[in-house]
Amino acid sequence: MVEDKDANLVNGRVEVIAPRSVQQNGTPKKEVATAEEAFTPPDGGTRAWLVMLASFFCNGILFGVINSYSVIYKEFHAIMVEQNITNAAGKSALVGSLAMGTTFLVSPVSGVLTDCIGIRMTTFLGGLIASSGMFLSSFCVDNVTPLSFTYGVMYGLGGALAYTPSLAVLGHYFKRYLGFVNGLVTAGSSAFTIAMPYFIDACIQRFQIEWTLRILAMLSGMIMLFAFLFKPIKKNVKVKKVALSDIFNVSVIKNLKFVIWTTVIAISLFGYFVPYVYINDFVEKNFDKDNDAKLPVLCIGITSGVGRLIFGYIADRPRVNRIFLQQISFLSIGILTILLPFSSHNFSALLAIVLGMGLFDGCFISLLGPIAFDICGKDGATQAIGFLLGVCALPLTIGPYVAGNMLDNKYSFTVIFILAGIPPTIGSVAMFLIQCVKQKKQNVFPMGTRETQEGLITGRLLDNYSTSIKLENEKNCSKRGYEYSIL
């Protein structure tokens, strides 16, 4: 359960109380501020904006490298082909997909680790592991087994550990502008996805792949410097030890709607990362050298950022069915992926397709949090997203690897992209199953008076009642929730 300023916890129950000016005895009651209530984020200042900038670069560096793997894949694949390694395409793709999959898999755990050792230490540890993995990768570019561990597992693990606290620290410095700041920070992945392919390619042309990886290691090492800025400013709040059953909300996985939603998304993502890995190779083999092979990834990054803003705004509108909106995004991504190989003789058509893919990719990503909130409620949303990310790690890792093996077995890009587009297309239809599940509406605010119950039924806000947190200092922050964002 996540503490919320609009909830009053009394003996494990959420209860609405009369405002302090209207107590039962008619006399005002003295307000006693707890440590949590006394804390107010500065919402600005030099330190706060530096924290935001550091979080922006953390997100950008980590996911910029992961999303630009198609440039590095080309080099790994060429080296393995020269050495006559079997299944060179599949093994080269596995390295990058492991980085993506590990990042997703470990993200939920990093939130728990942040509670244990702190925001600054977790971020520093993540930067250390990520930069070390990238540096070690420069010494084994011709050996896929250690490369899968150093580039795939180590970089993904470090990225996950640095990513979650880089978002969590924003709540210590911002409140009023938190939504705006969080949007700017998560847009770092889109900004770096636009620039990183050109940066990596320029480094490869001048310094070769080995020194390029060392340069990326130094770039990732900057995360350790950013970690020193992530100083939490909430003080005098004791952390209470909680049982394992308190940390993991079992009710989330008992929610049938959530299980269906998670399963459908996992199936749909089998082909999600395939275009990111192979689009560069596809352009070089099907178009003239005059066409920039890195431009499609740039287009995806641009419209993905735009899509998050547009569809995030649309999803907040009344009467908008968020699940149906996500169905449209999956259907569009699936159809556009299937159309990719049929643009092999028209570069403008290819760019139009990837622009559309990025737009609906932003739609899909921006709806993950709101839909998790709709299905699992406020208290279960954070763990629901964490569980979803962990489940999605498997298809994101396997999809590009299977596609690479098919390329090694002389299958064309036409077959690869068509098969990659089928899972999201099927997933868009399978999401109708969620609408078939009837769930009892649970009253998350057990109210003790007839007036408050009527107010809840009619949806009217009661002016005569307010809610507040009644927690002892030693119980504050016994559990904290972290927002997760993808890419």
DSSP for 322-369? HHHHHHHHHHHHHHHHHHGGGGTT-HHHHHHHHHHHHHHHHHHHHTHH
Burial class, 234, CB count within 10 angstroms (exposed 0-12 / middle 13-18 / buried 19+) = middle
Please determine whether the domains at 1-240+442-487 and 249-439 fall in the same fold group of CATH: yes
| pLDDT the model gives residue 59 | 87
Q: Domain segments of the chain: what residues?
A: 1-240+442-487, 249-439
Of 460 and 374, the one with more pLDDT: 374
Torsion of CA 359, 361, 362, 364, to 10 degrees: 130
CATH of the domain spanning 1-240+442-487, picked from 1.20.1250.20, 3.50.50.60, 3.40.50.10440, 1.10.3720.10: 1.20.1250.20
Fold of 249-439: Growth Hormone; Chain: A; (1.20.1250)
pTM beyond 0.75, yes or no: no
| pLDDT the model gives residue 153 | 94
- φ, ψ of residue 200 to 5 degrees: the values are -65, -45
* Whether the predicted pLDDT of 25 surpasses 60: no
Contact 455, 462 (CB under 8 A): yes
Q: Binning pLDDT at 50, 70 and 90, where does residue 230 land?
A: confident
* Whether the predicted pLDDT of 43 surpasses 50: yes
pLDDT for 286-315, tens place per residue?
888 888 888 998 899 889 888 888 887 787
Q: Binning pLDDT at 50, 70 and 90, where does residue 178 land?
A: low
pLDDT for 58-99, tens place per residue?
989 998 999 889 899 989 999 998 988 888 888 898 999 899
Beta strands (DSSP E) in 153-230 are none
Averaging pLDDT over each range in 36-45, 190-199, 202-211, 433-442, which range is the top one? 202-211
Mean pLDDT is lowest, of 25-29, 113-117, 219-223, for 25-29
- φ, ψ of residue 480 to 5 degrees: the values are -120, 145
pLDDT for 316-330, tens place per residue?
778 888 899 999 999
Averaging pLDDT over each range in 179-188, 356-365, 377-386, which range is the top one? 356-365
DSSP state, residue 441: P
* Whether the predicted pLDDT of 385 surpasses 60: yes
Can you tell me the distance from the alpha carbon of 215 to that of 134, in angstroms, rounded to the nearest whole number?
Answer: 9
Question: Which residue from 404, 430, 414 is spatially nearest to 338, judged by alpha carbons?
Answer: 414
Of 6 and 49, the one with more pLDDT: 49
Mean pLDDT is lowest, of 30-39, 61-70, 190-199, for 30-39
Can you tell me the distance from the alpha carbon of 120 to that of 227, in angstroms, rounded to the nearest whole number?
Answer: 5
* Whether the predicted pLDDT of 127 surpasses 60: yes
Can you tell me the distance from the alpha carbon of 311 to that of 314, in angstroms, rounded to the nearest whole number?
Answer: 5
Mean pLDDT over each residue of the chain, to the nearest integer? 78
* Whether the predicted pLDDT of 123 surpasses 70: yes
Can you tell me the distance from the alpha carbon of 277 to that of 400, in angstroms, rounded to the nearest whole number?
Answer: 7
Opening angle at CA 30, ends 26 and 35, nearest 5: 140
* Whether the predicted pLDDT of 357 surpasses 70: yes
Query: By percentage, how much of the chain surpasses pLDDT 90?
Result: 34
Q: Binning pLDDT at 50, 70 and 90, where does residue 382 land?
A: low
CB neighbour list of residue 280: distance below 8 Å, 6 or more residues apart: 70, 71, 73, 74, 197, 293, 294, 296, 297
Of 237 and 123, the one with more pLDDT: 123
* Whether the predicted pLDDT of 407 surpasses 70: yes
| pLDDT the model gives residue 484 | 43
Can you tell me the distance from the alpha carbon of 48 to that of 161, in angstroms, rounded to the nearest whole number?
Answer: 21
* Whether the predicted pLDDT of 220 surpasses 90: yes
pLDDT for 327-339, tens place per residue?
999 999 999 999 9
| pLDDT the model gives residue 223 | 94
* Whether the predicted pLDDT of 412 surpasses 70: yes
Averaging pLDDT over each range in 13-27, 161-175, 197-211, 447-461, which range is the top one? 197-211
pLDDT for 128-157, tens place per residue?
999 999 999 999 998 889 999 999 999 999
* Whether the predicted pLDDT of 231 surpasses 50: yes
* Residue corresponding to tokens 């089998």: 270
